Amino acid sequence: MQPILETYDLSKSYGSFIAVKNLNLKIKKGSICAFLGQNGAGKSSTIKMLLGMSRPTSGQGKIFGLDVADEKQSIEIRTRTAFVAEDKRLYDYMSVGEILRFTKHFFPGWRQDLEKKLVGLFELPEDKKIRKLSKGMRTKLALTLSLARGSELLILDEPTEGLDPLAIENLLEFVIMLAGEGISVFFSSHQIAEVEQIADHVCMIHKGSLVLDADMDRIKEDFKYVRITFNGNEPPLNFSIEGARSIQKEGSTISFITDHNINGVFESANPYHPGNIDVEPLSLKEIFLALVKNN
Amino acid sequence: MNMLLYKAWLESRQRFFIAVLSLSAVGMLYVYLHPILIPQWTLALHDPKAIKPAWLSKGVYDYRFYVWHFLFDYQFQEIWVLFALVLSVGGLSSEYKNGAIHFSLGIPVSRSAWVKSRFFVLLMEGTLASLIPILVVTVSSRSFGLNYSLWQAISHSMLLAVAGSVFEGLGILLSTLLRAGYYLAIVVIIFGIGLPYMIIQEYVRESGETSWLYYMDISHVMAGPWLLGWANIPWAGILISLLLTTFFIWLSIRISKVYDY
Amino acid sequence: MFRKLNPTSGIPIYIQLKEQIRHFIEVGALKQGDQLPSLRVLSEMLVINPNTVVRVYRELELEGIIEVSHGLGAFVAATKEKKIKAQRIREAQEEIERMMETFRKKGLTPDEIRRLMEAAFVQFEVY
């Protein structure tokens, strides 16, 4: 089955600064894929390239099998994609009602039922000018303008930024509902708890490169926190385990995070005669921090 | 496309109304000044010692010349140009600074459609901003007992707007290049285009047709002959202006296709 | 009846959901023949990925705890109480074995362990 979104060595540099480096993504249709990374890691640069807002320096991107760098194909991609930008500003001089009428004109598959539901859910005031809306209201409007498009793919850049907890929950429920209808979701977020809740696939970008690309279940199964206790003594100086990150030594224990096979960890540790080995599960947040705080 | 036009209209609506009001005020000002200036001019005309411009006689006896001289050849034209430049700011370039750019670019519309719709609305606004105030002048002149030919009113205001479209093209080109916010773009455009235009106009007025700058003086084409008829429409000037405008818009489209936003 | 799951607890969400469903069956909140919420309804209710619910229902079906009939939905299977009991006993047995191993490593003799167990039972029965 062809991936709904794929990139081949996609790269973007601004002068000498490399924002995105040889990115290879493959997102399956029907997946809810989270795109994690620090600010400036390359998330927005990637998304902008996918939507035809900026040109790749090299490499290729495809959505629905169409080339993102070709203007005509990009227009077709955007007809079938719902996009919410990180910057949620809209046309200040229009009212809520005006921008809804404006937007729905461009999307033949516009879902009037979803529009009605979202306007009600978010309590959007039809006649109010956008320049008079609070930031949270603007975000809710931006989300409504994209979720009602009836698209096959949602690309959301920080969709919950600035929203109150109830609005966030409403949004996540809505996304789940759309996912239930077979719609694919590609979203970036700093709220790792949300990601953990709804994503089935995670891509993590750090300094322009992909450092993680796996199904959520695999990540939770593979990544473990390991604590090795050496009886009474300090851990041996030359003790090292392949694939260990965020290594910490404290008293007679050495602890680290690893995604390597646990049996391999045991084998590496045995020659040093450890007293006890604890293997514990990790939250996605801890995994993320371990991957970006690279030592 | 309709929606793009509607959006460009909403975006510039306020500025358009200010333009129409201001230009109407300028027009009305000169209608009001007529009964004050004419007696003074008449005196000067009969005074052998006074310095008289060649057109003074026409100005005193023909209201059509009076209107042409102050409005189409002078104040009204200049202020129209400034407003045309102010109205040309907007679209993707301003949104780049002021935010909605990513919303606009997420919509399945080509960059060329954004520029073209912006330009089309600008042309309409520019034409109406010339036509409406002049019609106001024509109507209000009647109440002062002055007759201004409707044909002259319509043909001159249309000529001004059509020949002046070159400023609209330049305004869009510059704002596309600049990608600055609304206010900064307006300031730069007024100084970058408006100022040279006025300087050239003044200079040519002084040195007459002998200067090479005469060929760059678009204001001459925009004003046209004071009495406009089918025989003396400045076709060459209009054609050059339209060609330049088309070139500027074509260039703007090419630039916006290439830019990363 | 269903409670939202904790994504950050370290226990995978699908395991938490399986546990919840097993628990409901055990305590009688879900009885033999009761219909479980549909895939979409449950995923929306708990705000979790629909694929997770797919997996949970599939695994529970393999374990014989629920039955899925196409077009009709998912239902609590018959005699699941016995099956859950059997599973619980299996799990308890594994836990006891792990505990014994730990005690042994700590150097306790079988006799010492037995004495500790018996003392614990006494307390257990009293309470």
> What torsion, rounded to 10 degrees, do the Cα atoms A193, A199, A200, A204 define?
-80
Q: What is the pLDDT of residues A187-207, one digit of tens each?
A: 998 888 888 889 999 999 999
Report the range of poorest mean pLDDT among A55-69, A91-105, A228-242. A228-242
Distance from CA of A72 to the nearest CA of C (A): 34
How many C-beta atoms surround the C-beta of residue A168 within 10 A? 18
User: Which residues, listed in sequence order, are joined to residue A224 by a DSSP beta bridge?
Assistant: A258, A281
Q: Which residue has the tokens 């010339």?
A: B130
CA–CA separation, C67 and C70 (whole Å) = 10
Q: Assess A117–C contact: CB distance below 8 Å, yes or no.
A: no
Amino acid at C99: M
C-alpha distances in Å from residue A235, one per residue of A231, A240, A255, A263, A271: 9, 10, 10, 20, 12
Q: What is the mean pLDDT of residues A165-184?
A: 93
Are A and B neighbours with ≥3 CB pairs closer than 8 A?
yes
The domain total for chain B is 1
Whether A176 sits inside 8 A of C39 (CB atoms) is: no
CA–CA separation, A170 and A173 (whole Å) = 5
Q: Are strands A201-206 and A32-36 parallel, antiparallel or unpaired?
A: parallel
Q: What is the pLDDT of residues A10-37, one digit of tens each?
A: 999 998 999 999 999 999 999 999 999 9
List subunits contacting chain A, requiring 3 or more Cβ pairs under 8 Å.
B, C
The answer to whether residues A154 and A186 touch, using CB atoms and an 8 Å cutoff, is yes
pLDDT at B233: 86
How many C-beta atoms surround the C-beta of residue A275 within 10 A? 13
pLDDT at A295: 46
Reading phi first (left if > 0) and then psi (alpha if -120 to 50, else beta), residue B113 is in: alpha
C-alpha distances in Å from residue A226, one per residue of A256, A270, B155, B210, C13: 6, 14, 87, 90, 21
Amino acid at B221: V
Looking at every residue in chain B, the average pLDDT score rounds to 87
Q: Give alpha helix (H) positions in chain A.
A: 43-50, 71-79, 96-104, 112-121, 135-147, 165-180, 192-198, 216-222, 262-269, 284-292
ipTM of the complex: 0.89
Residues 248-287 of A with CB under 8 A from C: 280-285
Return the higher-pLDDT residue of A72 and A229: A72
Q: Can you give the residue range of the structural domain that contains B214?
A: 2-258
CATH domain A5-216 topology: Rossmann fold (3.40.50)
Q: What is the pLDDT of residues B248-258, one digit of tens each?
A: 999 999 999 98
pLDDT at B210: 60
Report the range of poorest mean pLDDT among A10-24, A72-86, B58-72. B58-72
Q: What is the mean pLDDT of residues A178-189?
A: 93
CATH domain A223-292 topology: Alpha-Beta Plaits (3.30.70)
pLDDT at B1: 79
How confident is chain C (127 residues) per 10-residue block, as mean pLDDT?
A: 82 88 84 88 92 92 87 80 74 87 86 86 69
Handedness of CA A101, A105, A108, A109 (dihedral sign): negative
Whether the pLDDT of residue A152 is over 50: the answer is yes
Whether the pLDDT of residue B214 is over 70: the answer is no
C-alpha distances in Å from residue A204, one per residue of A37, A210, A212: 6, 6, 5
Q: How much is the pTM?
A: 0.82
Confidence of residue B194 (pLDDT cuts 50, 70, 90): confident
- Spatial CB neighbours of B129, under 8 Å, sequence gap ≥ 6: B16, B19, B20, B23, B80, B83, B84, B87, B161
pLDDT at A232: 66
Q: Which residue has the tokens 């994209």?
A: A146
Distance from CA of A106 to the nearest CA of B (A): 7
pLDDT at B143: 85
DSSP state of A55: -
CA–CA separation, B253 and B256 (whole Å) = 5
All structural domains of chain A with their residue ranges: 5-216, 223-292
Q: What is the mean pLDDT of residues B176-202?
A: 81
pLDDT at C83: 65
pLDDT at A133: 94
Task: List CB contacts (< 8 A) between A32 and chain C.
Answer: 49
Return the higher-pLDDT residue of A245 and B168: B168
Task: List CB contacts (< 8 A) between A142 and chain B.
Answer: 103
Find, in chain A, the residue whose alpha carbon is nearest to that of C55: A217
pLDDT at B213: 62
pLDDT at B125: 96
Task: List CB contacts (< 8 A) between B10 and chain A.
Answer: 91, 93-94, 98
Whether the pLDDT of residue B215 is over 70: the answer is no
User: Which residues, listed in sequence order, are joined to residue A245 by a DSSP beta bridge?
Assistant: A257
Which of C39, C43, C51, C52 should be substituted to probe chain A, the one whose Cβ sees the most A Cβ atoms within 10 Å?
A: C51
**Class of residue A286 by CB neighbours under 10 A (exposed 0-12, middle 13-18, buried 19+):** middle
Q: What is the mean pLDDT of residues A139-150?
A: 96
